[in-house]
Chains A and B, each alone.
Chain A
Amino acid sequence: MKEIIQMIGVLSLISGVCALALSGFRAATAERIEDQILQNVQGPKVKLVLDKADNDIINDRKTISVNGEDVLLFIGKKGAEPWAIAYESTGGGFGGDIKVMVGYDIGNDTLTGIQIISHKETPGIGSKIADDQFTKFFKGLTTSTKFTTKPQGGDVDAISGATYSARGVCEAIRNSVEIYPQVKKQMQSQ
């Protein structure tokens, strides 16, 4: 009996101390980690999407709430005037979720461009969705474009061999365009 209690006691104590140390360390680094992810993962993509902006886009970000969900909004400015916005959305691809950063010119409601943030598509086939050749097509399209692939009756050229991946990107863009009017309204009202 004594042995069992000792086992339980020692193991609980070790786990407890370790958990305490980890939560302390987590609290100390959480902010920096979040910042690093912004700088290294989303940051470069946002800069590509809003390439004509001359402000520090990463710093000029804010979180807004659309339909009860938080949207991290990046704002591109020309001079002091907000010119374009970009936010991330998700679509279902062949191998998993595809995360896409979509940028909008708020002056004439066109897409300034899209960039794939992350995807799990087949290397060499579905991964072509991240190539410039595919993403540059979306630059300058209006938000009223039918963002489905041509075989499905839309306006977007699919990639041969990677139909599902291209559809996933389109789905992400449709999700993004769907909330665009609300995002724009909220941004301008602030």
Chain B
Amino acid sequence: MSIFKEFTKGLWQELPPFRLVLGLCPVLAVTKSATNGLGMGLAVIFVLTWSNILVSALRKVIPRKVRIASYIVIIATFVVIVEMATQAFFYPVYEALGIFIPLIVVNCVILGRAEAFASKNGVVASALDGLGIGAGFTMSLVVLGGLRELIGAGTLFDVEIMSAAYRSHSFSFMLEAPGAFICLGVLLAIMNAVSAPSSS
């Protein structure tokens, strides 16, 4: 029960971009479409879960003074693996995400979980924590990307949803950077409004 909670907390209670408001740079930059959001999210799930497992497994071996350096080495290794794997097997995704795959190394969600959770908890709990937070992160990216794609381009996962008339005059402002901020802000406001009574 309690260990299952480590997974579910990432889906709402500690939903990374909206609740912890962490790792916003890729959140804003790659969510031009739902597909990009999903690709980025899956990459983060992989890195987060494995780095959590390793950090947790090595938590008694790593001396306290060099822990951050060790975490970064571990995280960077998984990020490079993800980068090479997407390049080899999902080249279009690699092109769309570009610099943001290597930048997962400095995504504070991942270092944050390693420091705040994995370094203090067991391997299984850390793996579930990584999966949960990663799933929450992916969900947020897909929602944000989907919303922006739907309004900005009239498609969803590249499937044409809106009418042709809408698509030819679509609100492409939503695909630009300011659109990302506005979209994120509106979603944050909705989430806060929904959970306001229970959070006090």
**Cβ–Cβ contact A36 & B88, under 8 A:** yes
User: CA of A39 to CA of B90 in the docked complex: distance in angstroms?
Assistant: 12
- What is the CB-to-nearest-CB distance from A38 to chain B, in angstroms, rounded to a whole number? 10
* B182 proximal to A (CB < 8 A): no
* B189 proximal to A (CB < 8 A): no
**Cβ–Cβ contact A29 & B77, under 8 A:** no
Residue of A6, A22, A37 near B63 (CB, 8 A) is A6
Per-residue contact bits, chain B 58-69, to A (CB 8 Å; 1 contact, 0 not): 100111011001
8 A Cβ contacts from B121-137 to A:
none
Which 3 A-B pairs give the minimum distances between C-beta atoms? A18-B77, A29-B88, A32-B88
Closest to A35 in B: B88
How many interface residues does A have (CB within 8 Å)?
19
8 A Cβ contacts from A1-56 to B:
3, 6-7, 10-11, 14-15, 18, 21-22, 25-26, 29, 32-33, 36-37, 39-40
- What is the CB-to-nearest-CB distance from A4 to chain B, in angstroms, rounded to a whole number? 9
A-B contact pairs, 23 of them (CB 8 A): A3-B63, A3-B65, A6-B63, A10-B70, A11-B69, A11-B73, A14-B74, A18-B76, A22-B81, A25-B80, A26-B84, A29-B87, A32-B88, A32-B89, A33-B87, A36-B87, A36-B88, A36-B91, A37-B91, A39-B91, A40-B91, A40-B92, A40-B95
User: CA of A11 to CA of B84 in the docked complex: distance in angstroms?
Assistant: 24
- What is the CB-to-nearest-CB distance from B44 to chain A, in angstroms, rounded to a whole number? 19
Name, among B61, B65, B77, the residue most crowded by chain A CB atoms within 10 Å (CB to CB).
B77
**Cβ–Cβ contact B84 & A18, under 8 A:** no
Chain B hits for A10, CB < 8 A: 61-63, 66, 70
Chain B hits for A33, CB < 8 A: 84, 87-88
Closest to A40 in B: B91
Residue of B58, B77, B87 near A21 (CB, 8 A) is B77
How many interface residues does B have (CB within 8 Å)?
22
Chain A hits for B87, CB < 8 A: 29, 33, 36
Chain B hits for A14, CB < 8 A: 58, 62, 70, 73-74
Using known A-B contacts A7-B65, A22-B80, A25-B81, determine if residue A15 contacts B73 with beta carbons closer than 8 Å.
yes
Chain B hits for A15, CB < 8 A: 73
User: CA of A6 to CA of B76 in the docked complex: distance in angstroms?
Assistant: 22
8 A Cβ contacts from A146-161 to B:
none
Chain B hits for A36, CB < 8 A: 87-88, 91
* B85 proximal to A (CB < 8 A): yes
**Cβ–Cβ contact B63 & A18, under 8 A:** no
User: CA of A37 to CA of B94 in the docked complex: distance in angstroms?
Assistant: 11
User: CA of A14 to CA of B58 in the docked complex: distance in angstroms?
Assistant: 10
User: CA of A26 to CA of B85 in the docked complex: distance in angstroms?
Assistant: 9
- What is the CB-to-nearest-CB distance from B39 to chain A, in angstroms, rounded to a whole number? 15
- What is the CB-to-nearest-CB distance from A69 to chain B, in angstroms, rounded to a whole number? 25
Contacts beyond the supplied A10-B62, A18-B76: 14 A-B pairs with Cβ under 8 Å: A3-B65, A10-B61, A10-B70, A14-B58, A18-B73, A21-B77, A21-B81, A22-B80, A25-B84, A26-B84, A29-B84, A33-B87, A37-B91, A39-B91
User: CA of A10 to CA of B66 in the docked complex: distance in angstroms?
Assistant: 9
Closest to A29 in B: B88
User: CA of A18 to CA of B75 in the docked complex: distance in angstroms?
Assistant: 10
Chain A hits for B74, CB < 8 A: 14, 18
User: CA of A41 to CA of B95 in the docked complex: distance in angstroms?
Assistant: 10
Chain B hits for A21, CB < 8 A: 77, 81
